């Protein structure tokens, strides 16, 4: 169906189910799921120049600035010119979106609108495997063994900023930063918004949207 390569971005606040939706899109449509968090961890681990720059900010508890994240992601995209891809966690800011503009034109941007109370509940029940970034939730994505990562068997932790008192501030910050990015893509006619409280109910609509752009690699929806 698609002769050109598909370029897609997923936006959503922490706890919106972005990771789950990305996995399903990758599985059903063969897109490369490109997560900024994953590339940050890989570069820090490999001690690359850009990884070293990012590490300095993270160790001080600061957000990695636009120019570092942008450099990291544009390098990764440079290596994937011949692949369909889905960006997750980038662009987060208008500056990052404008940098991405210079190298490609996006076909689809999806944003997940989840009620604040749902996000608060999900985040307060979220457990993480820090080395890999794998996320678990006892309600809809529990680990096989309580408190333990499925792949490595290492312990899971609850992050400080997932605790209820920190969640409101994080979501407020996300909204402020994401708003101009969402407006930019809305004005271009590539933005598709999905609202709801359950990923499984949002997913069929996301699947239909992507099916109109690219032929699924699976004969039916994989969950």
Question: Is residue 39 a known part of a binding site?
Answer: no
Helix and strand counts by DSSP (H, E) for the chain: 8, 7
Question: Is residue 155 a known part of a binding site?
Answer: no
Question: Is residue 93 a known part of a binding site?
Answer: no
CB-CB contact of 119 with 171 (8 Å): yes
Question: Is residue 18 a known part of a binding site?
Answer: yes
Residues linked to residue 35 through DSSP beta bridges, in sequence order: 88
Handedness of CA 64, 68, 70, 75 (dihedral sign): negative
Question: Is residue 133 a known part of a binding site?
Answer: no
Contacts of 144 (CB under 8 A, 6+ apart): 150
Question: Is residue 77 a known part of a binding site?
Answer: no
Question: Is residue 89 a known part of a binding site?
Answer: yes
Question: Is residue 15 a known part of a binding site?
Answer: yes
Instruction: Label residue 222 left, alpha or beta by phi (over 0 means left) and psi (-120 to 50 means alpha).
Output: beta
Question: Is residue 19 a known part of a binding site?
Answer: yes
Question: Is residue 111 a known part of a binding site?
Answer: no
Question: Is residue 52 a known part of a binding site?
Answer: no
Question: Is residue 157 a known part of a binding site?
Answer: no
User: How many C-beta atoms lie closer than 10 Å to residue 132's C-beta?
Assistant: 14
Question: Is residue 122 a known part of a binding site?
Answer: no
Question: Is residue 218 a known part of a binding site?
Answer: no
- Tell me which residue of 22, 40, 18 sits closest to 122, measured CA to CA: 18
Question: Is residue 134 a known part of a binding site?
Answer: no
Question: Is residue 68 a known part of a binding site?
Answer: no
Sheet holding 85-88, edge to edge: 32-35, 85-88, 7-11, 108-113, 191-195
Question: Is residue 199 a known part of a binding site?
Answer: yes
Question: Is residue 207 a known part of a binding site?
Answer: no
Question: Is residue 126 a known part of a binding site?
Answer: yes
Residues annotated within a binding site for a ribonucleoside 5'-triphosphate: 15-20, 126, 135-136, 199
Residues annotated within a binding site: 15-20, 36, 41, 62-64, 89-92, 96, 126, 135-136, 170, 199
Residues annotated within a binding site for AMP: 36, 41, 62-64, 89-92, 96, 170
């Amino acid at each position: 169906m698609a002769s050109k390569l598909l370029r897609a971005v997923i936006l959503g606040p922490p706890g919106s189910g972005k990771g789950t939706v990305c996995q399903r899109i990758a599985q059903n449509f063969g897109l490369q799921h490109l997560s900024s968090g994953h590339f940050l961890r890989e570069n820090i681990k490999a001690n690359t120049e850009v990884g070293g720059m990012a590490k300095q900010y993270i160790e001080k508890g600061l957000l990695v600035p636009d120019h570092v994240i942008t450099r990291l992601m544009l390098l990764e995209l440079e290596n994937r010119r011949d692949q369909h891809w889905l960006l997750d966690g980038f662009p987060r800011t208008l500056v990052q979106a404008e940098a991405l503009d210079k190298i490609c034109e996006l076909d689809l941007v999806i944003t997940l609108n989840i009620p604040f109370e749902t996000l608060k509940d999900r985040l307060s029940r979220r457990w993480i495997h820090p080395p890999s970034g794998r996320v678990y939730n006892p309600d809809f994505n529990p680990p096989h063994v309580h408190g333990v990562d499925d792949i490595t068997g290492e312990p899971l932790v609850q992050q400080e900023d997932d605790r209820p008192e920190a969640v409101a501030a994080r979501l407020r910050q996300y909204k402020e930063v994401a708003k101009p990015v969402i407006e930019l893509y809305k004005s271009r006619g590539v933005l598709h918004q999905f609202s709801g409280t359950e990923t499984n109910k949002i997913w069929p609509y996301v699947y239909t949207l992507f099916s109109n752009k690219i032929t699924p690699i699976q004969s039916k929806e994989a969950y």
